[in-house]
Amino acid sequence: MVKRGHLTVIAGPMFAGKSSSLLQQVLWLEHNQKKTLVIKPHIDDRYDPENIVTHDQLRHRCVSAIDLELVKDNYNIKPYNFNTVFIDEVQFFDPKETLWFVEEGLRSGVNFMCAGLDQDFRGVPFDTTARLMALAEKVEKITAHCTVCGQPATKTFRTVDNDKSRVLVGGAESYEPRCTEHWSRK
Protein backbone atom coordinates (compact mmCIF):
# COMPACT_ATOMS: atom_id res chain seq x y z
CA MET A 1 0.00 0.00 0.00
CA VAL A 2 1.30 3.46 -0.96
CA LYS A 3 1.77 5.93 1.87
CA ARG A 4 -0.39 9.01 1.30
CA GLY A 5 1.38 12.32 0.65
CA HIS A 6 1.17 15.29 2.98
CA LEU A 7 -0.48 18.65 2.10
CA THR A 8 0.63 21.96 3.57
CA VAL A 9 -1.11 25.24 2.72
CA ILE A 10 0.40 28.67 3.33
CA ALA A 11 -2.28 31.37 3.26
CA GLY A 12 -2.62 35.04 4.10
CA PRO A 13 -2.78 38.52 2.56
CA MET A 14 -0.47 40.03 -0.01
CA PHE A 15 3.06 40.88 1.19
CA ALA A 16 2.97 38.31 4.03
CA GLY A 17 5.78 36.21 2.55
CA LYS A 18 3.77 33.25 1.22
CA SER A 19 5.90 32.82 -1.92
CA SER A 20 9.09 33.34 0.08
CA SER A 21 8.07 30.58 2.51
CA LEU A 22 7.24 28.31 -0.41
CA LEU A 23 10.60 28.96 -2.10
CA GLN A 24 12.45 28.37 1.16
CA GLN A 25 10.97 24.87 1.28
CA VAL A 26 11.75 24.27 -2.42
CA LEU A 27 15.40 25.20 -1.87
CA TRP A 28 15.65 23.08 1.28
CA LEU A 29 14.33 19.97 -0.47
CA GLU A 30 16.52 20.53 -3.53
CA HIS A 31 19.54 20.97 -1.23
CA ASN A 32 18.63 17.57 0.23
CA GLN A 33 18.55 16.00 -3.25
CA LYS A 34 14.74 15.68 -3.38
CA LYS A 35 12.95 16.05 -6.69
CA THR A 36 10.48 18.91 -6.86
CA LEU A 37 8.00 20.33 -9.33
CA VAL A 38 7.20 24.02 -8.94
CA ILE A 39 4.05 25.43 -10.57
CA LYS A 40 2.46 28.85 -10.83
CA PRO A 41 -0.58 30.05 -12.78
CA HIS A 42 0.06 31.52 -16.21
CA ILE A 43 -1.94 34.61 -15.24
CA ASP A 44 0.77 35.63 -12.74
CA ASP A 45 3.27 37.27 -15.07
CA ARG A 46 4.05 40.28 -12.83
CA TYR A 47 7.81 39.83 -12.71
CA ASP A 48 8.74 36.89 -14.96
CA PRO A 49 6.61 34.39 -16.88
CA GLU A 50 9.02 31.47 -16.31
CA ASN A 51 9.90 31.99 -12.64
CA ILE A 52 8.18 32.41 -9.32
CA VAL A 53 9.44 35.79 -8.19
CA THR A 54 8.75 37.21 -4.75
CA HIS A 55 8.12 40.89 -4.12
CA ASP A 56 11.70 41.16 -2.86
CA GLN A 57 12.98 39.53 -6.08
CA LEU A 58 13.82 35.98 -4.88
CA ARG A 59 13.22 33.68 -7.85
CA HIS A 60 12.98 30.05 -8.87
CA ARG A 61 12.26 28.35 -12.19
CA CYS A 62 8.76 26.95 -12.50
CA VAL A 63 6.12 25.56 -14.81
CA SER A 64 3.75 28.36 -15.77
CA ALA A 65 0.42 26.58 -16.23
CA ILE A 66 -2.83 27.60 -17.85
CA ASP A 67 -4.52 24.77 -15.97
CA LEU A 68 -3.46 21.80 -13.86
CA GLU A 69 -4.93 19.26 -16.27
CA LEU A 70 -2.18 20.18 -18.73
CA VAL A 71 0.44 19.77 -16.00
CA LYS A 72 -0.88 16.28 -15.26
CA ASP A 73 -0.73 15.41 -18.95
CA ASN A 74 2.92 16.53 -19.22
CA TYR A 75 4.34 15.39 -15.86
CA ASN A 76 3.86 12.02 -14.21
CA ILE A 77 3.04 13.05 -10.63
CA LYS A 78 4.38 9.97 -8.86
CA PRO A 79 6.79 9.63 -5.90
CA TYR A 80 9.55 8.21 -8.09
CA ASN A 81 9.46 11.46 -10.13
CA PHE A 82 8.69 14.06 -7.44
CA ASN A 83 8.98 14.15 -3.68
CA THR A 84 6.97 17.38 -3.49
CA VAL A 85 4.87 19.50 -5.85
CA PHE A 86 4.72 23.21 -5.03
CA ILE A 87 1.92 25.45 -6.29
CA ASP A 88 2.19 29.22 -5.86
CA GLU A 89 -0.73 31.66 -6.20
CA VAL A 90 -3.06 28.68 -5.94
CA GLN A 91 -6.14 30.92 -5.67
CA PHE A 92 -5.93 31.56 -9.43
CA PHE A 93 -6.51 27.89 -10.33
CA ASP A 94 -9.98 26.34 -10.69
CA PRO A 95 -11.12 24.88 -7.33
CA LYS A 96 -12.47 21.52 -8.58
CA GLU A 97 -9.56 20.91 -10.92
CA THR A 98 -7.03 21.85 -8.23
CA LEU A 99 -8.56 19.56 -5.61
CA TRP A 100 -8.65 16.71 -8.11
CA PHE A 101 -5.01 17.31 -9.11
CA VAL A 102 -3.76 17.56 -5.52
CA GLU A 103 -5.86 14.65 -4.22
CA GLU A 104 -4.69 12.37 -7.01
CA GLY A 105 -1.05 13.25 -6.26
CA LEU A 106 -1.52 12.79 -2.51
CA ARG A 107 -3.04 9.34 -3.05
CA SER A 108 -0.02 8.34 -5.12
CA GLY A 109 2.33 9.38 -2.29
CA VAL A 110 3.51 12.80 -3.47
CA ASN A 111 3.64 15.70 -0.99
CA PHE A 112 2.14 19.07 -1.88
CA MET A 113 2.75 22.59 -0.62
CA CYS A 114 0.41 25.30 -1.87
CA ALA A 115 0.57 29.03 -1.22
CA GLY A 116 -2.13 31.56 -1.93
CA LEU A 117 -4.33 34.40 -0.88
CA ASP A 118 -7.04 33.32 1.52
CA GLN A 119 -9.28 36.32 0.69
CA ASP A 120 -9.73 38.82 -2.10
CA PHE A 121 -9.56 42.60 -1.55
CA ARG A 122 -13.23 42.59 -0.52
CA GLY A 123 -12.60 40.01 2.22
CA VAL A 124 -14.33 37.19 0.32
CA PRO A 125 -12.51 33.83 0.67
CA PHE A 126 -10.95 32.32 -2.44
CA ASP A 127 -12.65 28.96 -2.92
CA THR A 128 -9.53 27.12 -4.10
CA THR A 129 -7.44 28.17 -1.10
CA ALA A 130 -10.30 27.53 1.35
CA ARG A 131 -10.91 24.00 0.05
CA LEU A 132 -7.22 23.14 0.16
CA MET A 133 -6.98 24.47 3.72
CA ALA A 134 -9.81 22.12 4.70
CA LEU A 135 -8.00 19.16 3.11
CA ALA A 136 -4.52 20.02 4.47
CA GLU A 137 -2.67 18.30 7.28
CA LYS A 138 -0.95 21.61 8.03
CA VAL A 139 -2.12 25.18 7.46
CA GLU A 140 0.16 28.16 8.00
CA LYS A 141 -1.83 31.39 8.22
CA ILE A 142 0.70 34.18 8.01
CA THR A 143 0.32 37.92 8.30
CA ALA A 144 1.97 40.98 6.83
CA HIS A 145 2.42 44.37 8.51
CA CYS A 146 -0.30 46.97 8.10
CA THR A 147 0.96 49.84 5.96
CA VAL A 148 -1.00 52.30 8.12
CA CYS A 149 -0.12 51.26 11.68
CA GLY A 150 2.39 48.40 11.49
CA GLN A 151 0.16 45.92 13.34
CA PRO A 152 -0.38 42.39 11.96
CA ALA A 153 -2.26 42.59 8.67
CA THR A 154 -4.68 39.85 7.66
CA LYS A 155 -6.35 41.72 4.81
CA THR A 156 -5.38 42.88 1.33
CA PHE A 157 -6.44 46.44 0.47
CA ARG A 158 -6.73 47.48 -3.18
CA THR A 159 -5.39 50.99 -3.63
CA VAL A 160 -6.62 51.51 -7.21
CA ASP A 161 -10.28 52.20 -7.95
CA ASN A 162 -10.15 51.86 -11.73
CA ASP A 163 -10.87 48.10 -11.75
CA LYS A 164 -13.71 46.48 -9.84
CA SER A 165 -13.03 42.94 -11.07
CA ARG A 166 -12.18 40.34 -8.44
CA VAL A 167 -8.82 39.47 -9.99
CA LEU A 168 -6.34 42.21 -10.77
CA VAL A 169 -2.83 40.81 -10.89
CA GLY A 170 -0.51 43.37 -9.37
CA GLY A 171 1.92 44.30 -6.65
CA ALA A 172 2.67 47.34 -4.50
CA GLU A 173 1.27 49.66 -7.18
CA SER A 174 -2.22 48.15 -6.62
CA TYR A 175 -2.33 46.58 -3.15
CA GLU A 176 -1.35 47.08 0.49
CA PRO A 177 -1.57 44.78 3.48
CA ARG A 178 -3.89 46.13 6.18
CA CYS A 179 -5.07 45.23 9.65
CA THR A 180 -8.83 44.88 10.12
CA GLU A 181 -9.02 48.36 11.64
CA HIS A 182 -7.50 50.06 8.55
CA TRP A 183 -9.04 47.84 5.88
CA SER A 184 -12.33 48.51 4.12
CA ARG A 185 -14.25 46.60 1.45
CA LYS A 186 -14.43 49.47 -1.05
Catalytic residues: 89
Q: State in Å, rounded, how far the first CA of the chain is from the last one.
A: 52
Distances from the Cα of 77 to the Cαs of 9, 102, 142, in angstroms? Answer: 19, 10, 28
- Assess contact for 177 and 156: CB atoms under 8 A: yes
Residues 6+ apart with CB under 8 A from 73: none
Residues 6+ apart with CB under 8 A from 33: none
- Assess contact for 62 and 50: CB atoms under 8 A: yes
